[in-house]
Copies of this chain bind each other. A is one copy, B any other.
Amino acid sequence: MLGVCYYPEHWPEEYWARDARRMHALGLSYVRIGEFAWGRIEKSEGVFDWAWMDRAIETLGAAGLKVVLGTPTATPPKWLCAKYPDILPVDIQTGQVRGFGSRRHYDFSSETYLRQAESITAAMAERYGQHPHVVGWQTDNELCCHDTTMSASPAALEKFRAYCAKRYGNIETLNAAWGNVFWSMEYDGFDQIDLPFFTVCETNPAHRLAYRRFASEQVVHFHDVMISAIRRHAGPEQWVTHNIIPPATTGIDNVALTQALDFVSYDNYPLGFSDQLMATASAEEWRPFMRTGHPDLAALNFDSVRGLSKGAWWVMEQQPGPVNWAPHNPRPAPGMVRHWTLQAFAHGAACVAYFRWRQVPFAQEQMHAGLLRPDDMPATAWAEVEQVAAEMQLLGDVSAVAPKASVAILIDPVSGWVDDIERQGAGYRYDAVLFQYYCVLRSLGVDVDFVSAGEARLDSYKLIIVPTLAVVDDAAFDTLRASEGLLLFGPRSGAKTAEFSISEGLPPGRLREFVPIKVTSVETLRPDCNGTITYKNEVHESGRWRETIEVGAVDVIATYEDDAPAAVRSGRSLYLATLTDDAFIKNLLVDLCAEAGVAITPLPPTLRLRRRGDLTFAFNLADSAVNAPAPNGAVFIIGGAEIEPFGVAVWR
């Protein structure tokens, strides 16, 4: 299904009915409204104006549209900030209060804000929880965006102390857990603990990890209260979702954040995100993708979000043209809006909603495209949406959860925190390590699932890649043990205890049950100053992060330039002790896929495949036509054997 984001409060009321009719005529089924409208709903504390929203919903519903209601807690109005200034967050770099005037200006630890936000959310749910046109809810908007997960506010300090008291019970336990004897950092009581900011040099990593866990829990708790406020009043047929930003950028535990949702939504801006991701790429690397986005970035986020979602996931905001917020904002190549839409469905989406109906001529996002131009004429994307709306019929029902893949990548928020907290090598980034495996697999035509560490669903995968899993808790350990596929661990796996110490008996700690080795030393190198790794007589680059390992009963499958072991295997488990170039990863994964019985289809950088059920989708990112890698006898549902530039083919 298709949908669109709409802001009736931005437009004269006389536009509404025509807008609604045109939406329906275009083939859109859903319309999201309301998520920044607090100021128009609650004019001052407890004084509500529902009339305009009643009329808006009625008008949209009357045109045959299903309404998704956003709760407006991302933008507390000025009267609220003025009355309760303690709701504002505090910048962790500068210590300055982050004030009113944009959005997300609230502190997840503020009890005052929690009550106010719960109140407006509940009020909305009470009013529309039984409304026949309202099919579901979106909580808040893009939680954690604009670096709002962490705050140095007094509220955060107070709650963090309480969090520590609860987690550790007594201060001696905390001191021991964190190793505070180091540098005389021991506390006499929980009321002495500060937030880990504004110190002379780096704070205890255990202190920071505790704060990161706390900050994540603050967001999750806030969100859970909002979900509950909705569910208290909403009918059982109304679902609840949230539109998350790229999961790797929230800095929190996304599984916890989304667990109480019916399904997860994602806001998909391939060009803006790619411009940021490839900011340091050369012109030669960037030019082919500046109007399509990096070939694997949207897919990465699609697969990540699918991995978080109980029900079939949504794209809640789909980029329809140039955006306004990246350093550079190209227009999409012709056909890319359709391409991205079909790509989302290929990766398991149930609905793609475009952001936004009509480009608004005022305020912060006036340079962000919509389906309609500010002069109410169709923008470039309009015709592509028309086309894809028709093609949706060919795809059939997409509301069901997509089947599992054969290959899983295990992900884990704690590994991201560990990387943030203990840099050790400027060339190491957890996200980049994970992305490298993903890109290689995608270039081999392999479908990938992301599974969060500790989720009990690794059983059916033939190949499980653990790019790194710094902290292995019981749940993750049990799940790994219960899995049956080939298991590939990357460097830094099992490196740390839950309280950010080096694992007992050296890394990989309890993962030694899988691979009997000890990481005796780690070195980090400049990205342009590598050593080598030799695998089956081919020499590749090994660099950035390199571990020296002592091995027990394992097969050494790759070696460093000094013949020391660089990758080892024990039964179905492998441990790779270094970061490498793409070619090494590809060679290794080709072999592992063959062994595991995972079919591969090596692809050029501008062609990608994705299966959903019995459909195979092929996506051409090149500005020239390409032959679809379809088997003989394939029945084309969309497109044909030659895929046009930026085009898509789907066959059965």
Q: Which residues of A contact B (CB under 8 A)?
A: 7, 9-10, 36-40, 44, 72, 75-79, 82, 89, 91, 94-105, 145-146, 148, 178-188, 192, 194, 196, 198-207, 275, 283, 286-287, 290, 321-322, 324, 327-331, 359-367, 369, 373-375, 377, 379-380, 422, 424-427, 499-502, 505-506, 518, 520-526, 528-529, 548
Contact = CB atoms under 8 A, between A and B. Distances in A.
A125 B430 CA distance: 48
Contacts of A82: 192
A13 B529 CA distance: 43
A200 B104 contact: yes
The 6 closest A-B pairs by CB, nearest first: A179-B362, A39-B184, A182-B363, A361-B502, A283-B528, A179-B363
B364 A330 contact: no
A76 to B, nearest CB: 7
B182 A373 contact: no
Given A364-B183, A424-B324, A201 B39 contact: no
Nearest to A330: B523
A523 B329 contact: yes
Number of copies: 3
Nearest to A204: B363
Given A188-B79, A286-B529, A99 B364 contact: no
A360 B526 contact: no
Contacts of A369: 521
A180 B96 contact: no
Given A362-B178, A425-B329, A426-B327, A36 B183 contact: yes
Contact of A362 (B76, B145, B501): B501
A526 B290 CA distance: 9
Contact of A364 (B36, B77, B205, B505): B205
Contacts of A194: 99-101
A415 to B, nearest CB: 16
A206 B426 CA distance: 39
A89 B427 contact: no
Given A100-B199, A198-B96, A501 B328 contact: no
Given A206-B363, A366-B205, A424-B329, A184 B520 contact: no
12 contacts: A44-B188, A75-B185, A91-B198, A94-B96, A95-B96, A101-B203, A179-B363, A283-B526, A330-B524, A362-B500, A374-B502, A374-B506
| Residue in A76, A145, A148, A328 with the greatest tally of chain B CB atoms within 10 Å | A328
A524 B325 CA distance: 11
Contacts of A91: 198
A146 B201 contact: yes
A321 B424 contact: no
A182 B78 contact: no
A360 B182 contact: yes
A502 B499 CA distance: 53
B200 A367 contact: no
Contact of A40 (B184, B196, B206): B184
Given A192-B78, A375-B505, A101 B361 contact: no
A490 B216 CA distance: 49
Contact of A78 (B95, B185, B290, B522): B185
A89 B10 CA distance: 38
Contact of A184 (B72, B180, B192, B377): B72
A10 B327 CA distance: 49
A547 B321 CA distance: 13
A464 B373 CA distance: 31
| Residue in A184, A359, A520 with the greatest tally of chain B CB atoms within 10 Å | A184
A99 B199 CA distance: 5
A363 B185 contact: yes
A46 to B, nearest CB: 15
Nearest to A76: B184
A362 to B, nearest CB: 3
Nearest to A321: B521
| Residue in A283, A380, A529 with the greatest tally of chain B CB atoms within 10 Å | A529
A80 to B, nearest CB: 9
Contacts of A72: 184
B521 A380 contact: yes
Given A98-B199, A103-B201, A203-B102, A367 B424 contact: yes
Contacts of A40: 181, 184, 186
A182 B324 CA distance: 15
A287 B532 CA distance: 13
A500 B364 CA distance: 10
Contacts of A77: 184, 186
B192 A522 contact: no
A182 B524 contact: no
B328 A426 contact: yes
Nearest to A188: B79
A187 B39 CA distance: 9
Contacts of A499: 362
Given A78-B192, A99-B199, A331-B523, A184 B104 contact: no
Contacts of A329: 424-425, 522-524
Contact of A202 (B76, B102, B183, B548): B102
